[in-house]
Structure 1
């Protein structure tokens, strides 16, 4: 490249500028105006010189800037107040929504209790919670969200079944499997939030149907029982898979036993705290405070039990192939669906089935 090329380009730009009406074409009319302009015109032009008006313009500009800054400050303050009002309004709406959910829940409980009286099964009429107690707002929200979770879980299991039966690709089937696994993780998150509101409510299982409470272990199902349920439904397993599943089953049982023993020791400690001499001058309030502190330790048991359930599902999915994992999750979803169906039929059984026959001599 020629080092002079930039200079040549500048020269070309200058030539083109002249062609388009350069300095000569611009200067000629200016000279004509100056020669034909009288002194009066010059005197009229003097006030427009930039010496004195510049101060006035500067002062006007300062005033304009002050007005703009003041308006910006006012706009920021108005926006801040608007955000505060919006936040308060949203909080009010959320509180009203939770109160409405609580009222709907209590109406549903009263309806179930009335149905239980009609069917002769008034002792087992509640699907979630006890009708004579009003749960805190956090528990009400959990019950609503858990009901939504059950419906969504059934939908995802049906989707997994359809994709599996349609012989979908490995990638598509794996995506649906991960969606089902992540949905179980959502349940553990919901339970963790509910445990912060009332861990005794969660660990008692009153949020589940009565039939499911029969198999309850620290707020859920035993992972070892889930493995016993899933494994027979799988395709023929390799020796390596069988060895890994056996190891997983053993570790799950050991963890379950450790948690069960810890919970039993906590229960024994609470019994000892409550078993005091009723005629002694012991400060019962202090003992109650200690007992409540021990109840709060139950949240750790629920957290560890759910962690064990989640890790068992995840590790099991890693041992199996995608098709095997899909088949196992379908079997697990069908199991819980049948438990809920059985619980529904149990609570709605006819009166004749609960009335004991009269024995005539």
Structure 2
């Protein structure tokens, strides 16, 4: 009875229209119907409790009037239908541009793997050569042989001038230069194959740029050695005998190299011919200026050394002063070698700017073949039959 009284008061309080003060009979009828239905459920609940079953949660009155429509959130959730057809579509087929880019990426990755493999092989080859070089140095020290092919030379007190005349930096440079030559041969082979296959200009440009960058590497190697042993560069002992015949300040004369280019890259336009002629003239003028500076250095050194008696130094203080002055003047030789290498570097890069990409490729191949023939000539000369 207490539950019925509280329910009745709840019905009375919840279904009075606050605006008119009257009962809302439609909602009251619905609530009473739900209440009676709840009583029936309560009887079922008592029976389930007696049987040990858990009763369901009672809901005598609805949480809101039954004439109110469901919330907008619930309506929006019901309105959501299946996703658009685009979400169920499968992956789109890549277009031609994407396929081409993927193919280029795969090819670049393949070439990168090949370069890495070749680099590892070069490192292993360099390690073996370094081991052989160390063994040769040890044998040379034991036998007193001059390392460099100059034969046995007499030194002070009858001691042979042995391998110690070659500094460790010079020996390391010789080994690095040998490795550079091997890499240079490989790059030239790739460039020759690319030219013969008539690949597009933009792809051929990559091969040309790699070859130019490789020339820059040997110039950097020479610059490092010039700081510690410039005489080794100027003497040309790291070159073959035939190459030494054409050496100028530790390398080739760029103006002489320009002369062999036009016949190898024809046909040339009139503008290209003018550009090559202008480059050759400016290069010759720069070479002449360096040659005059080197001649002036030689004369200055000679004057410094002979400023005192050559028969016997009369004053040791003056003698040591002369030697110190000569050393200071001789240190400028490094600057001459650096300027000559810069001129060679500028000439190669200027030629590539004047020529087309395909002409530049043929130009680099011609230069490489020129020096290859000089090295071959040296090998044939040393292997020639000699008469007693």
| Aligned equivalents of 2:267, 2:181: Cα separation in 1 | 31
Residue from 298, 301, 306 that aligns with 2:333: 298
CA drift at 1:103:
2.1
What TM-score does the superposition give when structure 2 sets the normalisation length?
0.59
* 2:342 matches 1:307: yes
Alignment of 1:116-135 (within 5 A): 132-135=163-166
Residue from 222, 243, 264 that aligns with 1:233: 264
Alignment of 1:324-343 (within 5 A): 324-343=359-378
Give the match for residue 190 of structure 1: 221
CA drift at 1:134:
3.9
| Aligned equivalents of 1:312, 1:169: Cα separation in 2 | 26
CA drift at 1:348:
2.1
| Aligned equivalents of 2:282, 2:243: Cα separation in 1 | 24
| Aligned equivalents of 1:104, 1:273: Cα separation in 2 | 41
Residue from 379, 385, 388 that aligns with 1:344: 379
Q: Give the direction of change, closer, same or farther, for the CA distance of 1:344–1:232 in structure 2 (3 Å limit).
A: same
CA drift at 1:133:
3.9
Q: Give the direction of change, closer, same or farther, for the CA distance of 1:105–1:309 in structure 2 (3 Å limit).
A: farther
Residue from 177, 183, 195 that aligns with 1:164: 195
Give the match for residue 209 of structure 2: 178
| Aligned equivalents of 2:232, 2:367: Cα separation in 1 | 25
Contact 1:101 1:141 in 2 (8 A): no
CA drift at 1:192:
0.4
CA deviations on 1:166-214 (whole Å, 9 max, x unpaired) are 1111111110001111100001000001111201111111111111000
Contact 1:98 1:141 in 2 (8 A): no
Give the match for residue 96 of structure 2: none
Residue from 353, 369, 376 that aligns with 1:318: 353
Structure 2 spans left out of the alignment, 5+ residues: 1-126, 153-160
Structure 1 spans left out of the alignment, 5+ residues: 1-95, 115-121, 356-361
CA deviations on 1:45-64 (whole Å, 9 max, x unpaired) are xxxxxxxxxxxxxxxxxxxx
Higher RCO (C-alpha under 8 Å, 6+ residues apart): 1
| Aligned equivalents of 1:332, 1:98: Cα separation in 2 | 27
Q: Which has the higher helix share?
A: 1
Q: Give the direction of change, closer, same or farther, for the CA distance of 1:347–1:102 in structure 2 (3 Å limit).
A: same
Which has the greater radius of gyration? 2
CA drift at 1:302:
0.6
| Aligned equivalents of 1:135, 1:235: Cα separation in 2 | 44
**Secondary structure in structure 2 of the residue aligned to 1:208:** coil
| Aligned equivalents of 2:261, 2:321: Cα separation in 1 | 48
Residue from 254, 277, 285 that aligns with 2:309: 277
Give the match for residue 15 of structure 2: none
* 2:289 matches 1:254: no
Residue from 145, 148, 170 that aligns with 2:179: 148
Contact 1:195 1:299 in 2 (8 A): yes
CA drift at 1:106:
2.9
CA deviations on 1:64-87 (whole Å, 9 max, x unpaired) are xxxxxxxxxxxxxxxxxxxxxxxx
Contact 1:266 1:294 in 2 (8 A): yes
Give the match for residue 245 of structure 2: 214
Contact 2:129 2:175 in 1 (8 A): no
| Aligned equivalents of 1:245, 1:212: Cα separation in 2 | 24
| Aligned equivalents of 2:226, 2:200: Cα separation in 1 | 40
Q: Give the direction of change, closer, same or farther, for the CA distance of 1:102–1:289 in structure 2 (3 Å limit).
A: farther
**Secondary structure in structure 2 of the residue aligned to 1:220:** coil
